[in-house]
């Protein structure tokens, strides 16, 4: 599991709509504590499931719903033939 980095989330900009209202996608088995619960309620973090694979999106736009990678590289999911 990665660490919560809300500063990184604030820097991310949606590649579709340009919104800065984005959430960091947390994957794996996070320890649910008060800090994480507050981040989830504030929509700064969203849970992305327990499977962690290379190329998955790391941010989700709270405005338009686009899941994207903050580094600008295309999202790659194994078995996706796009």
The CA distance from 11 to 1, in Å, is 21
Residue 40 lies in a domain: yes
Domains in the chain, number: 1
> Mean pLDDT throughout 35-64?
95
Residue 20 lies in a domain: yes
When pLDDT is cut at 50, 70 and 90, the band that residue 1 belongs to is very low
> Mean pLDDT throughout 36-50?
96
> Which residue from 8, 40, 45 is spatially nearest to 23, judged by alpha carbons?
45
> Mean pLDDT throughout 45-52?
94
Residue 45 lies in a domain: yes
> By residue range, what is the domain housing residue 15?
6-68
Residue 81 lies in a domain: no
Residue 51 lies in a domain: yes
Residue 36 lies in a domain: yes
């Amino acid at each position: 599991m990665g660490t919560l980095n809300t500063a990184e989330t604030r820097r991310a900009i949606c590649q579709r709509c340009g919104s800065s209202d984005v959430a960091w996608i947390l994957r794996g088995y996070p320890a649910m504590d008060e800090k994480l619960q507050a981040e989830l309620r504030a929509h700064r973090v969203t849970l992305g499931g327990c499977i962690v694979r290379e190329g998955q999106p790391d941010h989700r736009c709270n405005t338009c719903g686009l899941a994207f990678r903050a580094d600008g590289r295309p999202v790659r999911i194994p078995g996706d033939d796009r």
